[in-house]
Amino acid sequence: MGSGERVGSGGFSLGLLALLGLNLAGALSGCGKGAKGDCPQLEICGGDPSSMTAWQVSEVCQVPAFRPSQPSDVMDFQSTPPLAPTIATPQPNPVVAQQTTSGDWCSGLVFMPGTTGFVVENVNLWHESPHISGDTVNKPSTILLAGNDHSYATTLHFEDQNSTHFVPHCLVQNGAVGAKCSDLASALTAFYTTAALPGIDPTFTNIMCADAPSDGGCDCSYTFNLEVQDQGSWAIDPNDSTVLVQDSTVLQWNGTQMNAAASATTLRSSFCAGNGTLQLSGLRGGSLSSVQGLRTLIMTPMR
């Protein structure tokens, strides 16, 4: 449960440093946090996590996650692929093995005249690592662990407010001469609405653009939305009754199948079920539901 790894790494350095007579270093080596960031370790006791009604997330601990390296191809920056719940990464330089760019000043914007106004044909709006939505009524995050067939269904809603500045030449480089910032906002909204699947919120909503007094460009603010659907079967680890094992067969980000992007199809988490709560912690500091940076959840029965 995280502690095993911490003791392992700390003990290793402590032993060697003690061997070298470095008391100062030895004292410090016990300070390792494992891979859990600043999230506290939840209670781990096992129990029966199944329930007739879904568990609803009441408390969460996330660390701002980013992908360990830039993606190796530029497909992530084309059209409207499902976006990872991490800090958006800079666009890669495709001709070097070690990625070396700090991103595109225009965020990939293709803003041009259309038949009935201005249209956006491509853009990569930047976003931070999103947080689980606080809107528990319209966007509840839940987990249902069925006791009869051992199936499970997880729904997590993430969102975050972000903004991007577009300099003037980004706005006109594709011929959108005379366009106003409100035109850009409308075109961006249409771009993401068109790309959204039925019944799923567009990836970016509440898009508003205003004149930037600094350079005459546009400052655009928006909400980043990500709905994670995770389904499969669950079991208790026969070797450790405090470990919940989930075989994730369906993983969707905003309705698009993303199993290939998941860090693992077999999810393992430490848990404690009892007294009307379910506490989940990613095993050894791992992530829950393949959402990087999502460390712990405390849930209560959904009402």
Partner 1 sequence: MGDDFRRRGSRWRRGTSATVAITLTFFAARAWAAKPKPKADDEEAARPKHDESDEAADSKADDAATAAAPPAPTPLPPAVAPAPKGPAPLASGEPGWTLGFYGWLELDALWDSTQSFSETVLNQNISRPGTYAGDNARFQATVKDSRLGYKVAAPNYGSIKASAQFEADFFGVQPTTVTQDQQYTYSSIRLRHYFAKLETPVFDLLAGQTFDLFGWGGQGFFPSTPAFLGVLGEVFHRNVQLRLSKKLSGDHAALEIAVAGVRPATRDGGVPDLQAGLKLSFKDWQGASAQGPRPANAAPLAIGVSGVGRRLYVTDFEAISADAQKVWGWGAVADAFIPIIPVSGDDLSNGLSVTGEYSRGTGVTDLYLTLNGGVLFPALPNPKNVLPAPAYTPNIDNGIVTFDANGIAHTINWEGWMVNAHYNLPFNKGKTLSVSGTYSGIRSTNAMALTPIQGQPFVWNKGQYFDGTIWWSVTPAFQVCASFQTTAQTLGAGTPFSVVARNNRAQGGFWFFF
- Give the interface with partner 1 as residue ranges (CB under 8 A): 5, 9-10, 12-13, 16-17, 20-26, 28-29, 31-38, 63-66, 68, 74, 77-78, 87-96, 100-110, 121-122, 124, 126, 128, 164-165, 167, 169-170, 173-174, 285, 293
CB 144 within 8 A of CB 152: yes
SS (H, E, C) 149-212: CCEEEEEEEEEEEEEEEECHHHHHCCCCCCCCHHHHHHHHHHHHHHHCCCCCCCCEEEEEEEEC
SS3 16: helix
Q: Which residues partner with 235 through β-bridges?
A: 245
Given the complex with partner 1, which of 28 and 262 has the nearer CB atom?
A: 28
The CB-of-282 to partner 1 minimum distance in angstroms stands at: 12
Given the complex with partner 1, which of 34 and 202 has the nearer CB atom?
A: 34
- 72: tokens are 């190796």
Given the complex with partner 1, which of 49 and 285 has the nearer CB atom?
A: 285
DSSP secondary structure code for residue 17 in this structure: H
The CB-of-196 to partner 1 minimum distance in angstroms stands at: 20
Cα of 79 vs its chain's centroid, Å: 19
The CB-of-229 to partner 1 minimum distance in angstroms stands at: 25
CB 38 within 8 A of CB 64: no
The CB-of-34 to partner 1 minimum distance in angstroms stands at: 6
The CB-of-212 to partner 1 minimum distance in angstroms stands at: 11
Given the complex with partner 1, which of 262 and 302 has the nearer CB atom?
A: 262
Pairwise CA distance, residues 274 & 136, whole Å: 22
The CB-of-52 to partner 1 minimum distance in angstroms stands at: 36
The CB-of-146 to partner 1 minimum distance in angstroms stands at: 33
- Find, among 54, 134, 135, the residue nearest to 300 by Cα: 54
Given the complex with partner 1, which of 50 and 173 has the nearer CB atom?
A: 173
Given the complex with partner 1, which of 35 and 190 has the nearer CB atom?
A: 35
CB 190 within 8 A of CB 207: no
Given the complex with partner 1, which of 100 and 257 has the nearer CB atom?
A: 100
Extract the runs of DSSP E, i.e. beta strands, from 5-100: 55-62
Encoded amino acid at 294, one letter: L
Given the complex with partner 1, which of 8 and 276 has the nearer CB atom?
A: 8
Residue 242 φ/ψ, nearest 5 degrees: -105, 5
CB 33 within 8 A of CB 282: no
The CB-of-22 to partner 1 minimum distance in angstroms stands at: 4
- 241: tokens are 């009754």
